[in-house]
Structure 1
């Protein structure tokens, strides 16, 4: 196979993988009765434990007003809690609830276990280093271009 054809196949496979990840996440969001931005909020909270609403606004690319509406909705659904920041009681921090942790574990853990066993388990340590390098470089490229297309505020 020529390099040109191989590059086309890699590009097509990457697009197909991205589409399947997005479809899975959309199904998870529907199951949780939330939208995709709400699910991204949960992802941030699961990674960082507690976050200020301002930090969420930056991480999600939303206005503070949009974040407030999202947090109100997700609090009503029982997916997060808000409390005073223990370091600065003037601030509020947001945390995922135990219910959120349990539900996301139920939905994502089977995929993670099967992926580690049936996909990553197929590769040697050296091959996994190449996969990690590819994913790191691809993410960095994506982040650079994400910054490039974000509308600049005056």
Structure 2
């Protein structure tokens, strides 16, 4: 992910990518702790901070925020609504496909009372919240309302 961010985040967008990254960490920290502490998802094998909390540090504090950075800096702001919806679907699908692969092929994630479509919905909502914050923070296109997708 570090190499992907280094390669695909333009120098003039570094500050914007950093904001999206940090804000997504806040969102994933809250949602991640809720689902893990309530036994909805389990991470049996964690690489980092095994005793700090039960959440997956790698997934929730690095992979998701990195994709969110790319999602926000490449968002098709001036395009038609269909491109915006496809942008959400594309970035959400990448994460969910990686998660499904991790469930089926590794011992990194175990669904207890969760399914892939809950991941899809919550990740898409978190992208939307991130996008609202990003637009508010940078005041993009003040002539349009902030709540627009």
Q: TM-score, normalised by structure 2?
A: 0.34
Indicate the structure with greater helix content.
1
* Greater Cα radius of gyration, structure 1 or 2: 1
In terms of fraction of residues, the more strand-rich structure is 1
Structure possessing the higher relative contact order (Cα contacts under 8 Å, 6 or more residues apart): 2
TM-score, normalised to structure 1's length? Answer: 0.33
